[in-house]
């Protein structure tokens, strides 16, 4: 039987590449649910092509247009955030790909797990905000979480067959982004256009900015702690500009395993969709002769403060990673809207971490309230800075 897939965030970078993988393997997968936030045109295209059972548009303003466009197709159409939270529980879904951006993926992921759906996790913020709760739910409902991020997929692949062997340390690799090697003076003058030019990966705007600031790597550190049951001191980050070694596991005997390949997100997506079987693919193959030198260096956490802030949030625990995430989402949007500078992002995040209400042992409702509080607090700081500019 073909595996029935729900894709939350089908019009984003991960969502569209997931559909490419499904299209290349029609005997293995079929699309059951597609959801999008605002990109109504692409969602209609995808629905027409893949004929899912259900489509959902989060922004209800587009509901009538979507309904009208699909009136001749045997597709159920829904609108609104609550609709996504409900459709993930459908009996006809085998696997949910969580490719929504940011905090918005948390509640749908929780609901899918409670309904017993296995998760292909591309929404790292879910684990950053509430990793402990997600792990508890997955254990309680006997749900597997398959990481889609290239780095976490690499760790996962290195651990296959090694689950009884103790991990000493993992190394998450980072390209370093478009500003690797920049001084503080240079970083003070970078623009939104500069930050959106990632050297190796094609991603959405939010994650591209996070990669440029190294916040994305900080989130991956926190996510790795929950996915693989690690302590903060067991997680390290190394800059690897070529993006060929996707991450490394070091075992207690000192041996190391690395997962390598060209930077193509379709490979970890396909691995997550069909684990444990590896499907044949037409992906471009890596050649060592094309990359005679693979280099590694330490990240500069002084110039790229976000990575250090993520480690601080991880060490403090409680709702601090949730505070970090909410503040980051606000400042990234402000940067994209030309309201603050690149270097003001970590400054505001650090201030927010010092002012927001800290909860040592939060419940799900505490995370929801923290997210609301922090967004208001951070937005006020952004507004004050904007006034000072005027």
pTM value is 0.92
Tens-place pLDDT, residues 304-354: 999 999 999 999 999 999 999 999 999 999 999 999 999 999 999 999 999
Tell me what pLDDT residue 203 has.
65
| Mean local confidence (pLDDT), 239-254 | 97
**Per-residue tokens: 180:** 């690797």
pLDDT score for 143: 97
Exposure string for 77-103, b = 16+ CB within 10 A, e = fewer: bbbeeebbbebbbbeebbbbbbbbbbb
Mean pLDDT value of segment 242-270: 96
* Cβ 101 vs Cβ 12: under 8 Å: yes
**Other CB atoms closer than 10 Å to residue 385's CB: what's the count?**
17
Res. 198: pLDDT tops 70: no
pLDDT at 217 over 70: yes
pLDDT score of 264: 94
Structure confidence at residue 209 as a pLDDT band (50, 70, 90): very high
Mean per-residue pLDDT, 153-164:
95
pLDDT bucket at 101, cuts 50 / 70 / 90: confident
Average pLDDT over residues 121-136: 94
More confident residue, 386 or 127: 127
pLDDT at 390 over 60: no
Average pLDDT on 272-276 reads: 97
* pLDDT, the chain, mean: 94
Strand-pairing partners, residue 29, are: 3
204 pLDDT higher than 70:
yes
- pLDDT of residue 233 exceeding 60, the answer is yes
Whether 378 has a pLDDT exceeding 80, the answer reads: yes
Q: What is the mean pLDDT of residues 138-163?
A: 96
Return d(Cα 56, Cα 38) in angstroms, integer.
10
Here the tokens at position 248 are 């490394």
Q: Taking a C-beta distance cutoff of 8 angstroms, is the pair 121, 146 a contact? A: yes
Give the strands of the sheet with 235-239, arranged side by side: 235-239, 167-174, 245-251, 256-260
When pLDDT is averaged across residues 32-56 and rounded to a whole number, the result is: 97
Residue with tokens 């490719």: 99
Q: pLDDT at residue 387 above 90?
A: no
Q: What are phi and psi of 259, to 5 degrees?
A: -105, 130
From its phi and psi, is residue 116 left (phi > 0), alpha (psi between -120 and 50) or beta?
left
pLDDT at 298 over 60: yes
């Amino acid at each position: 039987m073909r595996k029935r897939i729900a894709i939350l965030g089908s019009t984003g970078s991960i969502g569209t590449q997931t559909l490419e993988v499904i299209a290349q393997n029609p005997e293995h997968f079929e699309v059951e649910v597609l959801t999008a936030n605002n990109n109504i045109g692409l969602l209609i295209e995808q629905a027409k092509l893949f004929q899912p059972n259900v489509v959902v548009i989060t922004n209800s303003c587009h509901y009538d247009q979507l309904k009208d466009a699909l009136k001749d197709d045997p597709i159920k159409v829904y609108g609104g955030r609550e609709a996504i939270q409900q459709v993930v529980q459908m009996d006809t879904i085998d696997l949910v790909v969580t490719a929504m951006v940011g905090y918005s993926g948390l509640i749908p992921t929780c609901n899918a797990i409670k309904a017993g759906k296995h998760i292909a996790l591309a929404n790292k913020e879910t684990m950053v905000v509430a990793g402990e709760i997600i792990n508890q739910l997955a254990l309680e409902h006997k749900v597997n979480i398959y990481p889609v991020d290239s780095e976490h997929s690499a760790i996962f692949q290195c651990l296959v067959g090694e689950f009884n062997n103790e991990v000493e340390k993992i190394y998450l690799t980072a390209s370093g982004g478009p500003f690797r090697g920049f001084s503080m003076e240079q970083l003070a003058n970078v623009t939104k256009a500069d930050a959106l030019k990632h050297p190796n990966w094609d991603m959405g705007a939010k994650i591209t900015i996070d990669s440029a600031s190294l916040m994305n790597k900080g989130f991956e550190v926190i996510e790795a702690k929950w996915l693989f049951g690690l302590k903060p001191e067991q997680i390290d980050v190394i800059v690897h500009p070529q993006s060929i070694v996707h991450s490394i596991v070091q075992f207690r005997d000192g041996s190391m395993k690395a997962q390598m390949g060209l930077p193509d997100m379709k490979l970890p997506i396909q691995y997550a969709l069909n684990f444990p079987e590896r499907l044949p693919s037409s992906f471009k193959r890596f050649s060592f002769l094309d990359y005679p030198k693979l280099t590694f260096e330490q990240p500069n956490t002084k110039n790229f403060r976000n990575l250090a802030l993520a480690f601080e949030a991880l060490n403090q625990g409680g709702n601090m990673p949730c505070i970090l995430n909410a503040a980051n989402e606000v400042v990234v949007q402000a940067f994209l809207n030309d309201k603050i500078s690149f270097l003001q992002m970590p400054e505001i995040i650090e201030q927010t971490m010092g002012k927001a209400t800290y909860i040592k042992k939060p419940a799900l409702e505490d995370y929801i309230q923290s997210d609301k509080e922090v967004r208001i607090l951070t937005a006020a700081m952004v507004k004050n800075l904007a006034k000072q500019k005027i």
